[in-house]
Chains A and B, each alone.
Chain A
């Protein structure tokens, strides 16, 4: 079956925040979970994930900490209180935007 792959410039930070709302996570797992949950529709290059994470950290929406795992240093990210509020706001905006588009498309 053909699966359309869409780039979602600008939407990645929201998806990262949503992923982290389930608990702390590291970059690789965040990327895989987004790709798996969107069933391969949302496509992004994994190298762009880290600048997005660092950007969210700069804004205080996520916080990072390092952890030793199997002899390797891993950088974990977790949602801050500010990040939780921002995610709630973004979800609300997205729901109203998507609702408006759906109702217009159904009308046509």
Chain B
């Protein structure tokens, strides 16, 4: 009950509004919005005071003019990375070479097991070709994307990374579609589709986020 009361009080002041509007966002985005909204709010309060309002009434009016914090939060989430999304991008960026090799080998073994179950498919692909093709698409292509994403040119021109990421997503979608259309494994379709949801979501998000590199930084690095 006390907590409920405290929560409802928080909704009637600027820090409470900001907490709702930016709560789930990555730290750099949160900080940028806080600076802008605080400046806006204080100017609005000053204008109401100049019109002759009492301080509490001026603050309440300024907060009302900002509108619903939840609606603002929904809109901000479309333009900025959430902490969860930034964390995911950081995790992908920090994936070690060892993890990549283990992931590649286990995924290839699983795929090869599925391919070898189909005698028609094994006629065209011997194990060496199969592993070479998979190595090219899964390791070489992904590493090239990562290196371009880390380069200085890409940092200045994020559109390039976005384009490469889009190509990667399209490639994965086509690969899943091709595999499922030939093999009719509904379980594989389900697993692969679930795996695609996250990259597709991040890809869509990166199209709208202007300063994704900064928002991806860990909170400590962003504030320094």
The chain A residues found within 8 Å of chain B, CB to CB, are: 26-28, 31, 44-48, 50-52, 54-55, 57-58, 72-75
B118 within 8 A of A: no
| A46 and B67 within 8 A (CB) | yes
- Determine the distance from Cα of A73 to Cα of B75 in the docked complex, in whole angstroms: 23
What are 11 sample pairs from A and B whose C-beta atoms fall under 8 A apart? A26-B39, A28-B40, A45-B66, A46-B44, A46-B66, A47-B37, A47-B72, A48-B67, A48-B75, A50-B37, A50-B40
- Determine the distance from Cα of A75 to Cα of B32 in the docked complex, in whole angstroms: 9
| A48 and B36 within 8 A (CB) | no
| A27 and B40 within 8 A (CB) | yes
0/1 string, B75-86, CB within 8 A of A gives 1: 110111000000
Pair count A-B, CB < 8 A: 67
Say yes or no: A54-B76 contact (C-beta < 8 A), given A28-B43, A74-B39, A75-B36: yes
| A58 and B39 within 8 A (CB) | no
Residues of B within 8 A of A73 (CB): 35, 39
The chain B residues found within 8 Å of chain A, CB to CB, are: 17, 21, 32-33, 35-37, 39-40, 42-44, 65-69, 71-72, 75-76, 78-80, 208-210
Chain B interface SS verdict (over half): helix
Beyond the given A28-B39, A51-B79, could you list 8 further A-B residue pairs with CB under 8 A, ordered by the A residue number? A27-B40, A28-B44, A44-B67, A47-B69, A48-B67, A58-B209, A72-B42, A73-B35
| B210 and A58 within 8 A (CB) | yes
Residues of A within 8 A of B76 (CB): 50-51, 54
Top 6 closest pairs, chain A to chain B, by CB: A45-B67, A51-B75, A47-B72, A47-B66, A54-B79, A58-B210
The one of A26, A47, A55, A75 in contact with B68, judged by C-beta atoms closer than 8 angstroms, is A47
The one of B35, B43, B65, B80 in contact with A45, judged by C-beta atoms closer than 8 angstroms, is B65
Say yes or no: A45-B71 contact (C-beta < 8 A), given A51-B78, A54-B80: yes
| B208 and A50 within 8 A (CB) | no
- Determine the distance from Cα of A31 to Cα of B17 in the docked complex, in whole angstroms: 19
| A48 and B210 within 8 A (CB) | no
| A48 and B39 within 8 A (CB) | no
| B65 and A46 within 8 A (CB) | yes
Residues of B within 8 A of A47 (CB): 17, 21, 37, 66-69, 71-72
Residues of B within 8 A of A27 (CB): 36, 39-40
- Determine the distance from Cα of A28 to Cα of B35 in the docked complex, in whole angstroms: 12
Residue of A nearest to B210 (CB): A58
Residue of A nearest to B74 (CB): A51
Listed residue (B32, B39, B44, B69) with the most chain A CB atoms within 10 angstroms of its CB: B39
Residues of A within 8 A of B44 (CB): 28, 46
- Determine the distance from Cα of A48 to Cα of B33 in the docked complex, in whole angstroms: 12
Residues of B within 8 A of A57 (CB): 210
